[in-house]
Amino acid sequence: MYAGRTETPCCLCANEDTVSRFEVPPRAVTLMKNGGPIAWRDIVGPVTLQFCADDWELVTELALEMDMHPLSRCNVAHASFSLREDFEALLSATKDEPDQTKQETELLERSRAVIENRDDPYTESRDIVEAIVIGLALSELEVIDTPPHQSAVAAAVAEKNNI
């Protein structure tokens, strides 16, 4: 589990003592509190959200037991991400527009792999929570039809009924 200290506080309550984090694709910013004015297409790399111990417990419960994500309550001001302009200033060069589709595909593939291996003892619940949130967010944003964990459950049910 992630245990380091960073400057990014809990995205739900702004507590600076965070115990866990996960990544979401830039498009998910539009589901967050105060996310409206953010030009998500200009975000370079994933968006990282940090959680304090209490909120992590809540977020885990929401994802694993209720099939819900916390993004609408996450304050975008407490999310960690880089905008293209920052990079340009830093590198004094113009970078190409970030490829959001490629990034979303990569995060989805990673989530699918986690969901497929969810019963593996080496799969951490943090990874499953992240995979579920990514799937739910991208399906709410209509990037995909069904989140990977829901299709995995549906496939398992179908298989069971065939026996």
Q: How far is the CB of 70 from Zn ion (least distance, A)?
A: 10
- DSSP state, residue 98: P
Residue 80: count of CB within 10 angstroms of its CB: 17
Taking the CA atoms of residue 27, residue 151, residue 106 and residue 133 in that order, the dihedral angle to the nearest 10 degrees is: 50
**13, 55 contact by CB (below 8 A):** yes
DSSP 95: P
What is the nearest approach in angstroms of Zn ion to the Cβ of residue 56?
8
Nearer to Zn ion, 50 or 111 (CB): 50
Least distance from C-beta 114 to Zn ion, angstroms? 24
Report the interface residues with Zn ion, using CB under 5 A: 10, 12-13, 15, 52, 55
| CA angle, 135 then 65 then 100, to 5° | 15
| Closer residue to Zn ion, CB minimum distance, 21 or 149 | 21
- Please give the Cα distance from 93 to 56 (Å, whole number): 39
Residue among 55 and 104 whose Cβ is closer to Zn ion: 55
Could you give the CA distance from residue 19 to residue 150 in angstroms, rounded to a whole number?
27
Which residue number places its CB atom closest to Zn ion? 10
Residue (48 or 139) nearer to Zn ion, CB: 48
Provide the minimum distance between the beta carbon of 74 and Zn ion in the complex, in angstroms, as a whole number.
10
